[in-house]
Amino acid sequence: MSDEQQKPEVHPDVAATAPEGADAAAEAASTDEAHAARKGSGRWWALLFVLVVLAGLGALAYRYVMQHPDRFGLSTQSEPSPSTAPANEPAPTAAPQPVQGQTAAAQAQTQAVQTPLSSQDAEQLMATMNALQQQLQQLHTDNAELRRTLAEQQHSDLRSRLTLIADPDTRLKQLSLLWQDVSLSPVLSAQQRSEAVSMTAAAREALTQNQLWQQRLDTWIATLAGPESGPDLIPHFAHPWLEWLAEQFHLRPAPTNDSSGSQALREKLMQIRRGMTIETWPDTKDWQPIRAELILIHASSAKTDADKAAGIGLPNDFTAMRKAVATLHETARQWLEAKP
């Protein structure tokens, strides 16, 4: 059988529609492939956009963290990892982080304190501490010496004042001032200070009383002062020559016994007044007659009962005053004997 006999017969309509169906299938396949390619490329572009956005946000976050490390507890200094550090060296100490609001001097001091010291620095620090300790001990010694010197000076000043008080020639005004200085001395005990204060008050009271007596004596001296002389008995003349001659002579009456007695009493009071100026008071036996005369004069001249009750303003005697002044001197002598 030949080849021509073995070929099947094809219908003409089928042969005509076969090329058209093949072209349609090919075109549909190409369209599907194009849609699939466009859909895959769009997904890749969206993924790439998301990655770019995330990278930008990460860069911004990293920059913010680097600018504000204290808010996240991070350190800007790089530290070697423990795995890369040598085995024979100690782990490095973390550098102190600056505290917000801390001054530069405080930060430097904190860093210096936390920095480990070498053996040489430690020896130098110990030497400095020993030198400071020696200086401090020397300051304590000097302070004790100054205190001792001050105490000696204060005791010396106290003895000098007590010596002046014990002197019998020291007057009441000086006694009151000296006893006041003694009462202010820091080396006195409480009992001694109380006694010095009482001595100061006694000296002032005696001084005031003595001044009042002097004023009262001045009043009596002025009261007893009569006219120095009586009127001139020679008359005056109109003629100038006779007037000149009359002025060359004076004729006055002789003083009476009363006026002579008053002048004698006045002289005695003036003498007592001068003695009180130097704090010398009359004895009792000399004072009593003078006081009696003053009482008689006061009783005769007093016009009212109040004037009589006022008295002459002078004491019966001056024994109490002499004892008070003697106590002021004697107390100072006792203090001098008691103190080394």
Query: Mean per-residue pLDDT for 77-101?
Result: 49
136-154 confidence digits (pLDDT tens): 988 888 888 888 888 888 8
What percent of the residues of the chain are helix, what percent strand, and what percent coil, each to the nearest 5? 70, 0, 30
Per-residue pLDDT at 165: 95
Examine the pLDDT at 324 and tell me if it is beyond 90. yes
Per-residue pLDDT at 110: 60
96-120 confidence digits (pLDDT tens): 555 555 566 566 566 555 566 678 8
Query: Mean per-residue pLDDT for 177-194?
Result: 93
26-59 confidence digits (pLDDT tens): 565 556 655 555 655 667 777 788 888 888 887 7
Per-residue pLDDT at 226: 59
C-alpha–C-alpha distance, residues 54 and 47, integer Å: 11
**Position 267, amino acid:** E
More confident residue, 204 or 4: 204
Contact at 8 Å (CB) between 292 and 129? no
Per-residue pLDDT at 253: 56
Sign of the alpha-carbon dihedral angle for 21, 23, 28, 29: positive
Q: What is the largest CA-CA distance in the chain?
A: 227
Mean pLDDT score of the chain, rounded to an integer? 76
Examine the pLDDT at 318 and tell me if it is beyond 60. yes
Query: Mean per-residue pLDDT for 215-240?
Result: 76
pLDDT band at 92 (very low <50, low <70, confident <90, very high): low
In three-state secondary structure terms, 5 is helix
pLDDT band at 16 (very low <50, low <70, confident <90, very high): very low
Contact at 8 Å (CB) between 203 and 321? no
pLDDT band at 13 (very low <50, low <70, confident <90, very high): very low
What token pair was written down for 175?
């006694």
Give the domain ranges of the chain. Answer: 142-338
In three-state secondary structure terms, 261 is helix
Could you give the residue ranges of the DSSP H alpha helices within 79-189? 104-114, 119-166, 172-183
